[in-house]
A and B are shown apart, each in its own frame.
Chain A
């Protein structure tokens, strides 16, 4: 979350503070909603609706985690309601399981949160560094080949590779859990 963010501002009705919360959470919530509703417009709308509710109830929250939990649960409820209404369609699409286990919801929350963190970590890498890492680890090119493609010196490739976070190596290269520990 942005350093200028102040929870009290949000509670007292500051729209800029609310926007920071919105920008911080919207994508992962949208992703979460899409797990239940494939129609992206509708999924996006559940996210907006949840934020409208958060704004109305802003005085009831004590911290950001409470806001976030409320957003997820509100979206989940809307998605289930929507699916109930559109049962006619879903009856034919094999996905009319009304009861979705609590466990599955929690796992979707976990997944949305992890992806968001991974994306934000990748975003922090400088562009050039990202290209070098991608070609080196994902496409498995040699330093010389990477240098030729990006038209930079082999030394720059080496430096950029060193700068690349271990995260990218991990994210861009499949690995097995057992192989690491």
Chain B
């Protein structure tokens, strides 16, 4: 109890710090706590990280006003039916899940039993579970007033925004309709796709945007100004409605992609070091916002712009450009791509964590192609077939290990693999 109260006090100090109200004495107190051990420092770093705060505050935007009524009913009747209901109902699910896991393991065992590489794959089968599948059509829509609507592809619904805009959700596509009797100025909406999900949105101007996993797009409910501006974090494929009078701009960090009407892919994950714009059709200008001046390149179809810290590089590998948009067509394609980059993409799509053993070379290159709605086992198996690495799956964590069954082979780190 006393320890809990101490932490209420600490929380007050952290909040005062974020608020810029912390006094010197309070700061000393807070600092003393942070320096006790690494766990404290770690927590402190999280609590003062913008992205962490923003994403976790989603919880506070959920509104469910029935909760109080439920509680009132319960205290008035002193009843606890609901609680028992929830707990009792969890049991059958647990049983089914266990059964599925067992079936998974057993099936794997039999399938792999016929394999020539017996000893190896049997061990592998026992370690793996039923297979991690992506979630697919799920997303969150954050409305202008901060309300959050959970979207499910299978679940049709219509939302009316404050300015009168009608938003329709059907079959993993979100669609904006501008209504003639619009009220007030346009408001910003944000579509957030979690790890393991993907979604498509048709904006008010008819532009189509496919959002990949772990991606968020912010846009107005309608485009009233001279320019059509949207903000992207993550990866998305755009098919922009042609309208020469109203240029379309995608803002990604300090980079602006300016287009008239065209098809292109943008990859701008914050945990990647580079942003990449790949053009399929039409023409785009990629430039950076900097004090006083602008530097930019104009892309032609089949070209990619790779935006690094100090420069924008242009690449004209047409095949590569096609590969970058394969995700939109439910494929997972990697062409001469490093293990690290492949695993990063897998971790977003299957919502898994990746851990490497120290002796694993993350920069081996692989080439391959799989259906992305299949279980993660398929793609991992494909990589394992090259005999370079093996994978251990525990829960939602994947450990990448050196394949020790191949005796001391000299590594080829920059060549293309089978």
Contacts and interface: CB of A to CB of B under 8 A. Distances in A.
A92 B395 contact: yes
Contact of B10 (A110, A149, A165, A174): A110
B98 to A, nearest CB: 5
Given A117-B15, A165-B19, A172-B50, A15 B72 contact: yes
Q: Is the interface of B mostly helix, strand, loop or mixed?
A: helix
B12 A177 contact: no
B146 to A, nearest CB: 9
A66 B71 CA distance: 20
A118 B57 contact: yes
Nearest to A66: B1
A68 interface: yes
A78 to B, nearest CB: 9
B67 interface: yes
Contacts of B396: 93-94
Contact of B56 (A31, A48, A106, A139): A31
A165 B21 CA distance: 11
A28 to B, nearest CB: 8
Contacts of A45: 82-83, 86
Contact of B4 (A41, A106, A141): A106
Interface residues of B, number: 72
Given A94-B395, A111-B46, A149-B229, A117 B71 contact: no
A72 B59 contact: no
B47 interface: yes
A115 interface: yes
A1 interface: no
Contacts of A175: 48, 50
Interface of A is mostly: helix
Interface in A120-154: 121-122, 127, 131, 138-141, 148-151
Contacts of A93: 395-396
Contact of B57 (A44, A51, A109, A115): A115
B18 A110 contact: no
B210 to A, nearest CB: 22
Contacts of B224: 151
Contacts of A59: none
Nearest to B86: A45
A89 B94 contact: yes
A38 B282 CA distance: 45
Contacts of A114: 11, 14-15, 18, 47
Across the A-B interface, the 10 shortest Cβ-Cβ residue pairs: A94-B395, A113-B11, A117-B15, A166-B20, A69-B4, A119-B60, A93-B395, A174-B50, A167-B19, A110-B7
21 contacts: A19-B68, A23-B68, A30-B59, A31-B60, A42-B90, A68-B4, A73-B4, A88-B98, A93-B396, A109-B4, A113-B15, A115-B60, A117-B12, A118-B18, A119-B60, A131-B188, A150-B185, A166-B19, A171-B54, A172-B50, A174-B51
Interface of A: 15, 18-19, 22-23, 26-27, 30-31, 34, 39, 41-42, 44-45, 48-49, 51-52, 55, 65-66, 68-70, 72-73, 82, 85-86, 88-89, 92-95, 102-104, 106-107, 109-111, 113-119, 121-122, 127, 131, 138-141, 148-151, 165-167, 170-175, 177, 181
